[in-house]
Amino acid sequence: MATDSAPLKEPADATPATGTAAVEPLVRFDKVVKRYGDHVVLDELDFTVRRGEHVTLIGPSGSGKTTILRLLMTLEKVSDGVIWVDGSPLSHVRTADGSLKPAGEKQLRESRKKIGMVFQQFNLFPNMKVLQNITEAPVNVLGMAREEAEARAVDLLDLVGLSGKVDAHPSQLSGGQQQRVAIARALAMRPEILLLDEVTSALDPELVAGVLDLLGDIARSTDITMLCVTHEMNFARDVSKKVLMFDAGRVVESGSPEKIFSDPEHERTREFLNAVL
């Protein structure tokens, strides 16, 4: 089935009826396929994430974890299936007859506003000062007044422990400090969903705990929904309510961190955890 030919109807429970919004998943992957040429990376993937939930994605290298985050960030397009966010199709738009067709660039840019992502390699703008790194998207994408964006950036820099670095350039900061700026930059867009892709993998070991503590504080003190790819199993245990174990582009097992880490049911989960723990 190709997304650009067959009309796709929304799942029966995708649009909450009045009074049921609290139980409606914020994110729903509905038979999502991602192919690169003949290589099927995600294979009719189904999973849901509830509003405010903190979910950790684990699985062997190449199992499709980063691809899931990139699809949610609309940096990639689905090959098949539909991604729903808050009852609306992220990857598609509704046509007049109620069917869905793949979203164009304009809609994808709109969808992207709801979602923030922090990358392994920080991805800061090297030629901009810290403050401008944080205000750039709120001003140019959301149309926020510069003064308001700057005031918010100052608050966020305080939150991430970098209030003295407003005028620094990224090259003048440590990796841990750059990642804190990247976290502040993602939060500046007031996203509903925060995607974290191995955000401590590129850091020197002594900087890892500080960044994880900050993310733990953000998870506990806000109602943000988090999807997190990490090899930091203690962080997953402390911060997430649900762990999804992926293999070959599918969820092979999901459950609480306690259940998955101490009593996994699937052989692939046991193999993976034996290798990383």
Q: Could you list the beta-strand ranges (E) of the chain.
A: 25-36, 39-50, 54-58, 80-85, 88-89, 92-94, 100-102, 115-118, 193-197, 225-229, 242-247, 250-255
Give Cβ neighbours of residue 240 (< 8 Å, ≥ 6 apart): 54, 55, 56, 226, 228, 257
Residue 243 interacts with ligand ATP (CB under 6 A)? no
CA–CA distance, 176 with 200 (Å, rounded to integer): 8
Q: Reduce the secondary structure of 155-196 to three states and give it as a string.
A: HHHHHCCCHHHCCCCHHHCCHHHHHHHHHHHHHHCCCCEEEE
User: x/- binding map, residues 201-230, to ligand ATP, per CB under 6 A?
Assistant: ------------------------------
Residue (58 or 215) nearer to ligand ATP, CB? 58
Provide the residue type at 229 as one letter.
V
- Secondary structure class of 153 (helix, strand, coil): helix
- In the complex, minimum distance from the CB of residue 200 to ligand ATP, in angstroms, rounded to a whole number: 13
Residue (67 or 91) nearer to ligand ATP, CB? 67
Residue (36 or 125) nearer to ligand ATP, CB? 36
Residue (53 or 76) nearer to ligand ATP, CB? 76
Site for ligand ATP in 8-37 (CB under 6 A): 36
- In the complex, minimum distance from the CB of residue 258 to ligand ATP, in angstroms, rounded to a whole number: 23
Judge contact between 245 and 264, C-beta under 8 A.
yes
- In the complex, minimum distance from the CB of residue 36 to ligand ATP, in angstroms, rounded to a whole number: 3
Phi and psi of 248, rounded to 5°? Answer: 50, 45
Q: Binding residues for ligand ATP, how many (CB under 6 A)?
A: 10
CA–CA distance, 187 with 68 (Å, rounded to integer): 20
Neighbours of 270 (CB within 10 A): 13
- In the complex, minimum distance from the CB of residue 66 to ligand ATP, in angstroms, rounded to a whole number: 3
CA–CA distance, 202 with 241 (Å, rounded to integer): 25
Phi and psi of 105, rounded to 5°? Answer: -60, -40
Residue (65 or 112) nearer to ligand ATP, CB? 65
Residue (65 or 92) nearer to ligand ATP, CB? 65
Residue (42 or 214) nearer to ligand ATP, CB? 42
Site for ligand ATP in 82-141 (CB under 6 A): none
- In the complex, minimum distance from the CB of residue 196 to ligand ATP, in angstroms, rounded to a whole number: 12
Site for ligand ATP in 41-80 (CB under 6 A): 41, 59, 61-67
- In the complex, minimum distance from the CB of residue 195 to ligand ATP, in angstroms, rounded to a whole number: 12
- In the complex, minimum distance from the CB of residue 170 to ligand ATP, in angstroms, rounded to a whole number: 23
- Give residues in contact with ligand ATP (CB under 6 A): 36, 41, 59, 61-67
